Amino acid sequence: MTNIDFSRATTAAARAVTALGEARETGWRRMVEMIEAATETRCAAVPLAERLIWSAKEEAARALVEGRADAAASALIEAEAQVTGEAPDVLAARILCKAGSHRMLMAQMSGLRRKAAADIAGAESPAEVERILTDLRAALVQKSDDAATTAPAGAEGIEPDGEAML
């Protein structure tokens, strides 16, 4: 008679738990990658060095529009306006509209990430994790399409310049 050691055997339930854990880990990683790709696509036409000054441009634009710009804020907006040929106040208004649009898109991306992460954590099967990622991908495409075709609040009277960002 052969002795069989069952101490290392795994049950179907144990394999399912392991598979679900692996699917969740992979799902979280893919979720982040998809959101990173979606946000990078939105910003890809703008060099990183320029992106790093977006908050400074927004603050300078806000100060100019509100009539409280100091010399540094005015210089920042005027330097770009001189190159583009725009009036500084028009450029400032355009920057503020784009900043608002970008901020809203990022808030929506954050919401999509948080919802997908919670859904993945609550998933009961690898197939459910995959469905959640499929739904996320569709939502990201929709948000990207919406952002490309919807003018931000306050954009009335401001002509688009063909650029996606600040």
| Token reading at 136 | 């996320």
Closest CA to 39 of 144, 133, 166: 144
Please check the confidence at residue 70 and state whether its pLDDT lies above 60. yes
On the 0-12 / 13-18 / 19+ scale of CB atoms within 10 A, 144 is: middle
pLDDT for 163: 55
pLDDT for 7: 72
Q: What's the average model confidence in pLDDT over 50-72?
A: 96
* pLDDT, tens digit, 9 for 90 and up, residues 107-155: 999 999 999 999 999 999 999 999 999 999 999 998 877 766 555 555 4
Q: What's the average model confidence in pLDDT over 60-77?
A: 97
Distance CA 40, CA 43 (A): 5
- Residues 16, 132, 36, CA angle at the centre, nearest 5°? 115
pLDDT for 152: 52
Please check the confidence at residue 76 and state whether its pLDDT lies above 60. yes
Which phi and psi (to 5°) does residue 154 adopt? Answer: 90, 0
pTM of model > 0.85: no
pLDDT for 160: 47
Distance CA 133, CA 110 (A): 15
Distance CA 156, CA 149 (A): 14
Distance CA 2, CA 79 (A): 86
**Which residue ranges make up each domain of the chain?**
13-149
pLDDT for 1: 67
> What value does the mean pLDDT of the chain take?
88
Please check the confidence at residue 51 and state whether its pLDDT lies above 60. yes
More confident of the two residues 101 and 164:
101
| Token reading at 158 | 């401001």
pLDDT for 143: 83
Under 8 Å between Cβ of 65 and 92: yes
